[in-house]
Chains A and B, each alone.
Chain A
């Protein structure tokens, strides 16, 4: 290790098969290894602080291409570990100065990590997004003056009503889906410019599901979509339990 090397922490887990990490490319294409500490496994890899140190990270995190590649690499490793058993994902850009400071942290906070691992178990996260369903565009503008104004006012009133209904539908969907989940979280709506989605997002939720619940959950989402034509639903997953890793005080 050179002086400019740091340690990127992907996740903390129980026992991890080192062979499963051998072929994985981590952030920046770096190797991934399992480090035992405090009876747990830190899944980590060496990174160059010239690219992943504090100043460089602040700059690089604002570069969308860099952010995308790094986020996908971080996820790739966590997803591989999640395939083996319970995992506590770390937030993106958790970088230690050296392995010793990482293992010291892990040993000190092992009890907290074990609590989170026990709670998450083999549960997976599923995402459900709801959008205001597209309504037919108004026909070609035939009238003028007062007729146009009346039609425009009706249109605006209908839009307002549509949004109210969509918000109510989103609440109903979230309430029902939460019944299937061990836990649930609502993320802020996604920025339209970043998602490329033109429709207004009215729900961006995550659900922590027991391993046997995924099919029932997907059926419930489909049924809810039929019952709420004012919104369009999208299901994503399974995800490692990112949104539920930090639902109690940080370990330690």
Chain B
């Protein structure tokens, strides 16, 4: 249990969404100026919360899973 998982191969489809969102929503270079929309930190909070609500609505009661 205390042994870390072997490094996952860089297989896009198997990467946990939550790990990916940490990086693509909070990492990367943010450019302003002519950009139509860059997800700013203040928006990120909204996105995370809304995404959370959506996931709660679509998954079968994660709080009850054992």
Contact = CB atoms under 8 A, between A and B. Distances in A.
A92 B29 CA distance: 9
Interface in A18-68: 49, 52-54, 57-58, 61-65, 67-68
B39 A93 contact: yes
A242 B24 contact: yes
A78 to B, nearest CB: 8
A98 B21 CA distance: 26
A23 B10 CA distance: 18
Contacts of A183: none
B18 A242 contact: no
A226 B28 contact: no
A180 to B, nearest CB: 14
Nearest to A109: B31
Contact of A234 (B4, B31, B51): B4
Contacts of B29: 12, 88-91, 113, 116, 245-246, 250-251
Contacts of B39: 61, 91-93
Chain B interface residue number, banded: 35 or more
A165 interface: no
A105 interface: yes
24 contacts: A12-B29, A53-B36, A61-B39, A61-B50, A65-B58, A72-B12, A72-B17, A91-B26, A92-B25, A94-B38, A187-B26, A190-B18, A194-B17, A214-B7, A221-B4, A234-B4, A235-B4, A235-B7, A236-B15, A237-B10, A242-B24, A243-B23, A246-B28, A250-B30
Interface of A: 6, 9, 12, 49, 52-54, 57-58, 61-65, 67-68, 71-72, 74-76, 79, 88-97, 101-102, 104-105, 109, 113, 116, 125-128, 133-134, 187, 190-191, 193-196, 204, 206, 214, 218, 221-222, 225-226, 228-229, 231-239, 242-246, 250-251
Given A71-B20, A251-B29, 7 more contacts: A61-B39, A62-B46, A75-B20, A75-B24, A91-B27, A94-B38, A246-B29
Interface of B: 1-5, 7-8, 10, 12-13, 15-39, 43, 46-48, 50-52, 54-56, 58-59, 62-63
